[in-house]
Structure 1
Amino acid sequence: MLYAARTIMPLCIVSVASEMGWDKTESGTVLSAFFWGYTMTQFLGGYLSDRVGGDVVLPIAACMWSLITFWTPQFAYLSTDKHTSLYIIVLSRVCLGICQGFHYPGLTSIISRKVLEHQRSFTYSIVSSGSYVGTLFTGGMGSIMLDHYSWPVPFYIIGLCGITWMLVMRYMLIARHREKLVLASLGEAPLIDSSKVKPEPKSAVPWVTLFTKPAFWSLLVGHFCENNAFYILLSWMPTYFHENFPTAKGWVFNVVPWVVTIPSTIGGGWLADKMITKGYTVTFVRKLMETVALCGTAFFLFVISYASSYLSCLICMALAVACCGFHNSGILVNPQDIAPKHAGAVFGIMNMAGAVPGFVGVYIAGHILETTKSWNAVFSQTAVVCMFGWAVFIVFGTGKKIV
């Protein structure tokens, strides 16, 4: 639901811009506004989740971004003036990013405290695969609703779905808490073995120590470079196929890459946990997963520059996106390895750096297209950035606890 709400505006932007009279620059401002807000609350979300619990932070944030999604059409109609309505929508997109910024740091904090080390990769991969399911849901069902109804309908439906999910999640968390209280009152053992998963005492985040560790910086650099590739593919892939293969069906190239990414994400998590269970070091496993993610993405971006047929380009693009799925078992879960007591806060800083390509990398890709008219230039520079991030993480990354 998080990604369904996040990607509904890119799906509807053409219809919204047509009705509101926006040009491409104004449409781009609306789309990029989300990431300005998204960068603001990454650290705060991790810090609050580590202090009060992600199970408290997540439902509150979900309630807010679901309501913003639901109300977006109403925001657009608050004013009849074109520029005023544009400013209101941009502000709502910033607020949407602010609220969604709490999610992943809170999720990371929960997993680091409740899930055993050799089960974290698979758990995180299962949960993270929901981002691709949400993208598929918006691209599939959202496109159908957009074709048969006006553009506000997808916002209303997905907003209501988000609210429903939030209420169900909150109900299950409360039910789980009551179950523990009942078991405790009856003198029975808790369902989770406390000898294996012990609550960590709250303590201040040792930022000075973290900022002097090369492993921490390699985390930021690697995540920035991977997200740069992911956001460029997410934002520009439809335009690439539309310009190079105008007769191709949109539902194919908007769906196929995300379909193949779900099994790669889950499979990468299963493989990572399996290798750790078999005795491989966490450091080796994290670097192996990130090698597949960054080197694989770079390789297929280089190859697509020499592909000419629609099928070969679609396969290369799908495999490039699929390789991104292994990132969930590499760097994305690494904050739980190096700082288990402060995983939420560390993830927040890391994801703040990873959100920057959302408005910088995507803009630069557009500028390159505008000046060179070359998709090969875009893919090549993206691949080079991936290889740089891989080299930094391979040399300085670690799976050992540093704080």
Structure 2
Amino acid sequence: MAERVVNVDVYDKECKVLLKDKRNSSGKFWTRSEKKQWVVGLMLGTSMLYAARTIMPLCIVSTSQELGWDKTESGTVLSSFFWGYTMTQFLGGYLSDRIGGDIVLPIAACMWSLITFWTPQLAYLSTDKHISLYIVVLSRVSLGICQGFHYPGMTSIISRKVNEQERSLTYSMVASGSHIGTLLTGSVGSILMDRYGWQFPFYFIGLCGLTWMLLMRYMLIARQRNKSVVVSLADAPLPDLATSKDKPETRSSVPWILLFTKPAFWALLVGHFCHAYSFFVLLSWLPTYFHENFPTAKGWVFNVVPWVVTIPSSIGSGWLADKMISSGYSVTFVRKFMESVALLGTAFFLFIISYTSSYTSCLICLALAVACCGFHNSGILVNPQDIAPKHAGSVFGIMNMAGAIPGFVGVYIAGHILETTKSWNAVFGQTSVVCVFGWIVYVIFGTGRRVVS
């Protein structure tokens, strides 16, 4: 029998090439087709998230009239969502970084969709006005708790599956779902409310959320896991040739002490807080503003127009940010430029609305103010992936927890100001000041460079 001679060097080289090909096929990042599928899926999820979140602001006038709530009580109902939303931001980021956002998102979506569907029935559990109010507030808190997992989980997924040069556009497209969802509620929700009552938008959006969760779970997440299992089995015969750098990345704990000593981290929190203050005041009180100041105006117009113009601004800002970075501009400059448009633009249009009186001019000013908010998606909102890419979910959770605080503070204060002063100019004026303050802090101390490894 002839002796078989094996050239070890040639064999080793061929096996390493094979391993490289297999790693490329598994892919640390999404392929082009995978990214398109996930972007569409996550964008639709964000749409359903915001559709469920904005039903109550849309229906608050009709609901408060039927249930006998005053402005302060209405403000309590609107702001109570953010009490719960604040609680789970950090937990959502931590769990997503540890076990995967693809596991966290469907579970949370199932819960907030069911709560949305049953909210009208919960309001009728008691004939006592105050007990009914407490039940609705509790349901809104629960809705916020469940929705608090979404953005940190989404951020964790994108930071691990999209390279740095494409994150701005990817995140902006996914985040633009918030405006699509608000648009869906403002258009379809307004029609359903006018024809069938304020309860039907809750039923419709609740069912849409459950449908998205099932499609996401069985069409994208299950397929991705099956692919990972196949790739793992394919890699099994050649474990000894893998070096330490080929092994799965170990997930280290978040260096919080180091982060809290960095001015860039605090600038992130302050800037996001100030943006969220303006955005949530607009999101929660715009329907009431137009109902009170222009009672003959069509709800499907003022509930739709601001969010229609925001979609191209959100996606366009992401494209512009990636284009600027690929053209040689620093990430720090791009993030500060986008945030300047967001905060200063919002402050400017909220300020000049005090000097307008016609319906058309007010609608244009508020639409442009909301459109400027879209640039935030390519500024601070994607910044956690710049400063701490390995811990983006956890950092985003802390940032969004700070951003949720003005949701209950700012919205409640706006309702109290309206109840005591009857002045919308006072509400918009103090919101402009908050935006300018956030811009100053972020421009001075913010950065797009990595601050922790």
**Could you state the TM-score of these two structures normalised by the residue count of structure 1?**
0.93
1:97 is the counterpart of 2:144: yes
| Residue equivalent to 1:194 | none
Q: Distance in 1 between matches of 2:335 and 2:450?
A: 13
| Residue equivalent to 1:402 | 451
Q: Which amino acid aligns with 1:390?
A: W
Contact kept, 8 Å, 1:69 with 1:159, in 2: the verdict is yes
Q: 1:137-166: per-residue Cα shift (whole Å, max 9, x none)?
A: 111111111122233322222111101100
2:394 corresponds, among 326, 331, 345, to: 345
SS in structure 1 at match of 2:144: helix
Q: Which amino acid aligns with 1:182?
A: V
Contact kept, 8 Å, 2:71 with 2:418, in 1: the verdict is no
User: Post-superposition shift, 1:200?
Assistant: 4.1
Q: Distance in 2 between matches of 1:30 and 1:114?
A: 38
1:380 is the counterpart of 2:429: yes
Structure 1's 198 and 76: CA in aligned 2 closer, same or farther, altered over 3 A? farther
1:334 is the counterpart of 2:386: no
Q: Distance in 2 between matches of 1:86 and 1:117?
A: 46
2:223 corresponds, among 175, 186, 192, to: 175
| Residue equivalent to 1:72 | 119
Structure 1's 10 and 238: CA in aligned 2 closer, same or farther, altered over 3 A? closer
Taking the TM superposition and a 5 Å limit, the aligned residue runs for 1:247-396 are 247-396=296-445
Q: Which amino acid aligns with 2:275?
A: E
Q: Distance in 2 between matches of 1:379 and 1:29?
A: 19
1:33 is the counterpart of 2:63: no
Q: Which amino acid aligns with 1:307?
A: T
Q: 1:51-77: per-residue Cα shift (whole Å, max 9, x none)?
A: 111111111100110111112223223
1:122 corresponds, among 169, 190, 210, to: 169
SS in structure 1 at match of 2:447: coil
RMSD: 2.1
Structure 1's 315 and 283: CA in aligned 2 closer, same or farther, altered over 3 A? same
| Residue equivalent to 2:274 | 225
Q: Distance in 2 between matches of 1:320 and 1:398?
A: 25
Provide structure 2 residue ranges, at least 5 long, that are not aligned to the other structure. 1-47, 237-245
1:108 is the counterpart of 2:155: yes
Q: Distance in 1 between matches of 2:247 and 2:266?
A: 28
Structure 1's 298 and 198: CA in aligned 2 closer, same or farther, altered over 3 A? farther
Contact kept, 8 Å, 2:122 with 2:136, in 1: the verdict is yes
User: Post-superposition shift, 1:255?
Assistant: 1.1
**Could you state the TM-score of these two structures normalised by the residue count of structure 2?**
0.83
Q: Distance in 1 between matches of 2:433 and 2:382?
A: 24
Contact kept, 8 Å, 1:200 with 1:341, in 2: the verdict is no
Provide structure 1 residue ranges, at least 5 long, that are not aligned to the other structure. 189-196
* Rg comparison, structure with higher value: 2
User: Post-superposition shift, 1:374?
Assistant: 3.3
| Residue equivalent to 1:60 | 107
Q: Which moved more, 1:234-243 or 1:364-373?
A: 364-373
Structure 1's 14 and 309: CA in aligned 2 closer, same or farther, altered over 3 A? closer
Contact kept, 8 Å, 1:113 with 1:200, in 2: the verdict is no
Structure 1's 132 and 307: CA in aligned 2 closer, same or farther, altered over 3 A? same
Q: Distance in 2 between matches of 1:395 and 1:11?
A: 38
Q: 1:221-259: per-residue Cα shift (whole Å, max 9, x none)?
A: 000111111111122223333333333322222211110
Contact kept, 8 Å, 1:146 with 1:153, in 2: the verdict is yes
Q: 1:34-62: per-residue Cα shift (whole Å, max 9, x none)?
A: 11000000011011111111111111100
Q: Percent identity?
A: 78
Q: Distance in 2 between matches of 1:36 and 1:74?
A: 22
Q: Distance in 1 between matches of 2:349 and 2:68?
A: 38
SS in structure 1 at match of 2:250: coil
| Residue equivalent to 2:188 | 141
Structure 1's 378 and 88: CA in aligned 2 closer, same or farther, altered over 3 A? closer
Structure 1's 198 and 272: CA in aligned 2 closer, same or farther, altered over 3 A? farther
Taking the TM superposition and a 5 Å limit, the aligned residue runs for 1:199-218 are 200-218=249-267
Contact kept, 8 Å, 2:75 with 2:414, in 1: the verdict is no
1:88 is the counterpart of 2:135: yes
Structure 1's 226 and 184: CA in aligned 2 closer, same or farther, altered over 3 A? same
Q: Distance in 1 between matches of 2:348 and 2:67?
A: 41
SS in structure 1 at match of 2:405: helix
1:46 is the counterpart of 2:93: yes
Q: Distance in 2 between matches of 1:17 and 1:372?
A: 20
Q: Which amino acid aligns with 1:267?
A: G
Q: 1:256-292: per-residue Cα shift (whole Å, max 9, x none)?
A: 1110000000000011011111121111110010011
Q: Distance in 2 between matches of 1:312 and 1:14?
A: 23
Q: Which amino acid aligns with 2:63?
A: V
Q: Distance in 2 between matches of 1:12 and 1:238?
A: 9
Structure 1's 75 and 369: CA in aligned 2 closer, same or farther, altered over 3 A? closer
Count residues with an aligned counterpart: 396
Q: Which moved more, 1:277-286 or 1:355-364?
A: 355-364
Q: Which moved more, 1:59-68 or 1:143-152?
A: 143-152
Structure 1's 382 and 85: CA in aligned 2 closer, same or farther, altered over 3 A? closer
